[in-house]
Amino acid sequence: MNKIYILLLALVVVFNAGCSSKGKRTYKNFGKTKTYSSNKNSHNQTINKKDYSHPTMRPYVIRGIKYYPTVVSVGDVFRGNASWYGPDFHGKLTSNGETYNMYDMTAAHKTLPMNTIVKVTNLKNGLTTVVRINDRGPFVATRIIDLSNKAAHKIDMVKHGTAPVSIEILGFDAKGKRRIPTKQELKQTPKQQQIGKFAIQIASFSKIEGALVTQSKHNGTDGYKTVIKDMQTNNGRMFKVWLTGFKSEQEARDYKALGHFEYSFIVRDD
């Protein structure tokens, strides 16, 4: 009797497990990830966040060219040619999902983080305007910014189509209020903006001892720091050694291309 009861109970468990696997496909969450810093006194435990960033913050390809959103700081200045766009795009969606309004003080840039606030100066006449980046472009090598129709009028460049300009980073509207922040608000925003955090995984071990040796050996390499990520994976518990401290994906890619670590690859350090 006991054998029959146990057999029936096992069948119920299997049936329920089969039912739970049906329906919408999901990614398995392995729960917590422990991070072991190269600082021997640091053993912080962090929650493994979902690997996600807004699509406009990721690298993208236009006409075979790959563009990497990049790190910028308040006070950085860039020079190039500005163009403008208006009626043909009015009412259409921008790259970050907003509706383009040619009467707003906005602009498109290939790599500046969304909601970066910049001052644009027409180098021909000295006129200036302040805009918020909410779109990608212009995809012409000699041009660095595409101004809205209203912003282009502010620096008197509409009739010429393009103009040589300088762009100064004033700050970052992290809340995305879709307006130009006041000077006081800009003072309270970060002084530097970067797109996510990236690391290079240089090794992976099933035992902590190997990870500790690798971490100690490579910590401080070219100014970068090593950490150990204690992760639960489909293959069981793994200790992954990451080289951290890269300010952008492009920096991580450039360093990986040097070939110092065979079989290494780039990961998001969220």
Give the pLDDT confidence of 104-143 residue by residue, as tens digits.
999 999 988 888 899 999 999 999 999 999 999 998 888 9
pLDDT given for residue 195 in this prediction: 53
Confidence band (pLDDT; 50, 70, 90) for 31? very low
Note the pLDDT tens digit of each residue in 217-232.
999 888 889 999 998 8
For 8-63, the DSSP string reads HHHHHHHHHHHHHT-SS--PPP--EEEEEESSTT---EEE-------GGGS-EEET
Q: Is pLDDT at 8 greater than 60 in this prediction?
A: no
- By the 8 A CB rule, do 180 and 106 touch? no
Indicate the range of 61-65, 146-150, 206-210, 256-260 predicted with least confidence.
61-65
Q: Which of 13-27, 143-157, 183-197 has the highest mean pLDDT?
A: 143-157
Question: Which CATH code is given to the segment(s) 59-193?
Answer: 2.40.40.10
Q: Tell me which of 161 and 56 has the higher pLDDT.
A: 161
Q: Residue 41: its pLDDT value, please?
A: 35
Instruction: Give residue 267's pLDDT.
Output: 86
When the pLDDT of each residue in the chain is averaged and rounded to a whole number, the result is: 76
Check pLDDT > 70 for residue 257.
Answer: yes
What's phi and psi for 222, nearest 5 deg?
50, 30
CA angle 223, 226, 231 (to 5 degrees): 155
pLDDT at res. 174 = 61
Provide mean pLDDT across the span 170-187. Answer: 73
Confidence label for 176 from pLDDT (cuts 50, 70 and 90): low
* Mean pLDDT within 135-153: 93
Asked whether the predicted pLDDT for residue 10 surpasses 50, the reply is: no
Q: Return all residues near 149 (Cβ < 8 A) that are at least 6 apart.
A: 84, 85, 86, 87, 102, 103, 158
pLDDT of residue 86: 87
Where do the domains of the chain lie? 32-53+196-268, 59-193
Instruction: Tell me if the pTM is above 0.75.
Output: no
Band of residue 266 on the pLDDT scale cut at 50, 70, 90: confident
What burial letters (b/e) apply to 187-226, b meaning 16+ CB within 10 Å? Answer: eebeeebbbbbbbbbbbbbeeeeebbebbeebbeeeebbb
Question: Which pLDDT does position 73 carry in this prediction?
Answer: 83
CA–CA separation, 152 and 86 (whole Å)? 10
CATH ID of 32-53+196-268, from 1.10.4160.10, 3.10.20.30, 3.30.930.10, 3.30.70.1070:
3.30.70.1070
The arithmetic mean of pLDDT across residues 27-38, rounded, is 42
pLDDT value at position 96?
80
Question: Mean pLDDT across the stretch 89-116?
Answer: 90
